[in-house]
Amino acid sequence: MCQYFLSSNYLLPPEVFNRTQDFERERLVYFKDLFSNLHKALDVTQRTDFKAIYSDLEQSIAHCNIEVDLAWWSTHHGVDMPAVLPEFEEYSPELTTISNKKRSQLSETNTGVTLTGITPVISSPAQISPDKHSEPYVKKSTNGPQATLPTPFDDFSPTSDSKSFEQTAEPPRSALPVAPPTAAEVPTADELSDADYYASATYDDGRPGVPVRALYDYTSQEDDELTFVAGDIFEKLEDADDQGWCKGRKDGRAGLYPANYAGPI
C-alpha cells in the first residue's frame, strides 16, 4: 500500500515531494554561492593592492604638517604675501569710451568767445611803400609839405567836422586788427546738431574708401549711424575723430560708426 504525505492541504506521493526537495536544494546552493562570491568581492581587506592603498593613505595623514600649511597660506594669501603695486598701462585710443559725436564739431560755448584769428599788433606806424602799378590816392602839393596817410594808431580830434581828402584816406584793410566775433555770432552745438551735423555725417562724395571688416555687432542709435554685424565688410571714408568715430559707407549709404568696432582687412 502506497504511503501519502499531507502538504499544503494536498496529498502528494513521495516521489513528487522528493523532486520539489531537489529543486529547492539546487536553488539554495545557487544563492549560497552567489552571496559568498559577493562577499568576497566586497571584502577589500583581503586584497593586497587595497592594503597598499590604505597604508599609503595612513602615512599621508600622519605626515601632514599643520604649521607648514599655515605658513604657506599666510605667504600666498595672508599678511606675509608680497605687495603688488599698481602698474602703469599705456594709453590706447581704441579703449576710450565712445562719447557724444556732437562735441567734436564745435568746442564748448560756455567758456567765452571762440578765438577765430590772431592779428599781430603793430607797435609803430607801418611805412607804406608806393607800388609802381598803384599810386596812393593823395594830392601832391608843390607849395607846402605833403600830407601823410593816417594810421589806426593816430589820434583823431573829435571837434573837427570836416577833414581834407589827404587826411581821410582809408588805410589798407590788412593793417586793421580783426575783432573777435561776439557770443551771439558763434553758433552753438544745438544749431550744428540738426541739419549741418547730419548733412556732414551722411554726405557721400563718391570717393572710394578703405575696406574694413566689422569685429562686433553694432546697432545704430541715431539716423546718421551705420548698422552692421560681426563679419560684414564695408568701406571706411574718414579716419577716427577725437571722439572715436569714423565715417564709412555700407550698402551705398554713408554714416558714422565706432572706430574700434571695425578693423582693416
Query: For all residues of the chain together, what is the average pLDDT?
Result: 72
Q: How confident is the model at residue 36 (pLDDT cuts 50, 70, 90)?
A: very high
* pLDDT value of position 102: 53
* pLDDT value of position 113: 47
Q: How confident is the model at residue 38 (pLDDT cuts 50, 70, 90)?
A: very high
Q: How confident is the model at residue 29 (pLDDT cuts 50, 70, 90)?
A: very high
Whether domain 196-264 has CATH 2.30.30.40: the reply is: yes
Task: Point out the least confidently predicted range of 55-59, 126-130, 148-152, 240-244.
Answer: 126-130
Q: Is the pLDDT of residue 35 over 90?
A: yes
Q: How confident is the model at residue 69 (pLDDT cuts 50, 70, 90)?
A: very high
Percentage, residues of the chain above pLDDT 70? 56
Distances in Å between the Cα of 214 and the Cα atoms of 95, 99, 119, 125 are 16, 20, 47, 62
* pLDDT tens-digit map of 181-199: 544 454 554 455 556 666 7
* pLDDT value of position 206: 86
Q: Cell 604638517 maps to which residue?
A: 65
The more confidently predicted of residues 196 and 97 is 196
- Which pTM was predicted? 0.31
Q: Is the pLDDT of residue 140 over 50?
A: no
* pLDDT tens-digit map of 143-185: 445 555 555 555 554 454 444 444 545 555 544 444 445 444 5
Q: Write the Ramachandran bin of 160: left for phi over 0, alpha for psi from -120 to 50, otherwise beta.
A: beta
The more confidently predicted of residues 70 and 114 is 70
In the beta sheet, which residues pair with residue 245? 258
Inter-residue contact 247 to 238 (CB < 8 Å): yes
Over residues 119-126, the mean pLDDT reads: 52
Inter-residue contact 171 to 177 (CB < 8 Å): no
Tell me the domain boundaries of the chain.
5-42, 196-264
Q: How confident is the model at residue 228 (pLDDT cuts 50, 70, 90)?
A: very high
Q: Is the pLDDT of residue 72 over 50?
A: yes
Query: For 134-140, which contacts have Cβ atoms below 8 Å and span 24 or more sequence positions?
Result: 136/169, 137/169, 138/165, 138/166, 138/169, 139/165, 139/166
How close are the terminal C-alpha atoms of the chain, in Å? 111
Q: Is the pLDDT of residue 93 over 80?
A: no
DSSP string, 165-181: TTTTPPPPGGGSPPPPP
Over residues 48-62, the mean pLDDT reads: 85
How far apart CA 249 and CA 257 sit, in angstroms, is 10
* pLDDT value of position 174: 47
